[in-house]
Amino acid sequence: MMKDIDYSYEYKDDDNKYCYPGTNVLKNKLSIKDSEMLYNAEREFSMARYAALQVKPINGDFSLKHLREIHKYLFQDVYDWAGVLRTVDISKGTIFCLVQHIEAQFEIIHQWLKKRNYLKDVSDRVEMAKDLAYVLGEINMIHPFREGNGRAQRLYIEQLCENNGRFEVNFSFATQEEMLKASVDASVCNYEAMEALFLKCLIERN
């Protein structure tokens, strides 16, 4: 399971709500105050939850609520705020969606998917790659959570493919560097790199 891109977030204000004072270590249920130890623990717990979701996915309508349920399930062992929208503005060069606009911006994507029948009718691989590139690029810029966005988003995309029934997506075919470039390009509405990434990762079912 690919780790989230390390964005090295910058904050408009101090992030004391989420981090232990004087550190960039996220407050967690395990009371771990070492960043490397937390990274390893978070990875182990989320991978176990991810594996469980491969067997029994979280059903939903691809709304923000659906994504929140995925995030909550993945990170419930580590963070009290799993599945809860972030309350701090974060940036890395480009500012991610301001907290007051997260729900409205996600609803735009949800309505876009709804009008396209949640991509159920897409049978062309190139078209599917373009649609998924747009959805992932936009959701990544919304960045609804304080941490764990990438893993939750990728599961959401995997479920979109499962819902279509003709494709599956294997993100292990892409490198973290490719995902980072695609995400950065998508932040300025250039989806070519993301489309190319999906063309590598999409598998047509027999």
Phi, psi of 19 (to 5 degrees): -110, 155
pLDDT score recorded for residue 106: 98
Element of type H or E holding 69: helix 64-75
pLDDT score recorded for residue 206: 77
pLDDT score recorded for residue 7: 40
Show the tokens assigned to 110: 């949800």
Show the tokens assigned to 54: 């491969």
CA distance to 10, 47, 51, 95, 119, per residue, from 155 (Å): 26, 12, 11, 24, 16
Beta bridge partners of 95: 91
- pTM attached to this predicted model: 0.92
Element of type H or E holding 162: helix 149-164
Chunked into runs of 10 residues, the chain (206 residues) has average pLDDT values of: 50 72 94 96 96 93 98 98 96 88 98 98 97 98 96 96 95 94 94 97 92
Show the tokens assigned to 51: 């594996």
CA distance to 117, 161, 169, 198, 201, per residue, from 166 (Å): 14, 7, 10, 14, 14
Q: Say how far apart CA 94 and CA 110 lie, in whole Å.
A: 23
pLDDT score recorded for residue 9: 53
Cα angle 63-65-66, degrees, rounded to a multiple of 5: 65
pLDDT score recorded for residue 17: 87
Map tokens 């029934």 to a residue. 165
The CATH class of the 10-204 domain is mainly alpha
Q: Say how far apart CA 173 and CA 159 lie, in whole Å.
A: 17
Q: Say how far apart CA 119 and CA 138 lie, in whole Å.
A: 16
